[in-house]
């Protein structure tokens, strides 16, 4: 039996919306630090950092609560 490929979920930041309020960095401290101006910066340096399964609930909260509606989750099956 083969296991189906686990979809990989990534966080996309719409930088044109983000004002660096920092809520996502508090909910997802393992994914994001803050840069010199408070904007989220991916700890792994990825353009769209991957969300580990354990962080998925918090990632969904971050998407829902971002005051600038700048976050979205994207699935890719890589």
Cα dihedral 17, 6, 58, 50, rounded to 10, equals: -50
44 binds another protein (CB under 8 A): no
74 binds another protein (CB under 8 A): yes
Q: Which of 4, 5, 7, 45 binds another protein (CB under 8 A)?
A: 45
The β-bridge partners of 33 are 41
Q: Which of 30, 43, 72, 76 binds another protein (CB under 8 A)?
A: 72
Q: Which residues contact 43 (CB under 8 A, 6 or more apart)?
A: 30, 31, 32, 33, 49
* Shortest CB 57 distance to another protein, Å: 22
* Shortest CB 28 distance to another protein, Å: 16
If you write DSSP's letter for every residue of 51-63 in order, what string do you get?
PPGGGHHHHHHHH
Question: Which residues are at the interface with another protein (CB under 8 A)?
Answer: 12, 14-20, 35-37, 39, 41, 45-47, 72, 74
């Amino acid at each position: 039996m083969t296991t189906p490929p686990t979809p990989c979920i990534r966080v996309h930041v719409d930088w044109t919306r983000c004002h660096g309020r920092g809520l996502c960095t508090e909910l997802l401290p393992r994914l994001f630090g803050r840069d010199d101006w408070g904007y989220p910066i991916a700890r792994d340096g990825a353009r769209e950092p991957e969300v580990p399964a354990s962080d998925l609930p918090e990632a969904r909260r971050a998407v829902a609560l971002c005051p600038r509606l700048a976050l979205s989750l994207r699935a890719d099956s890589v």
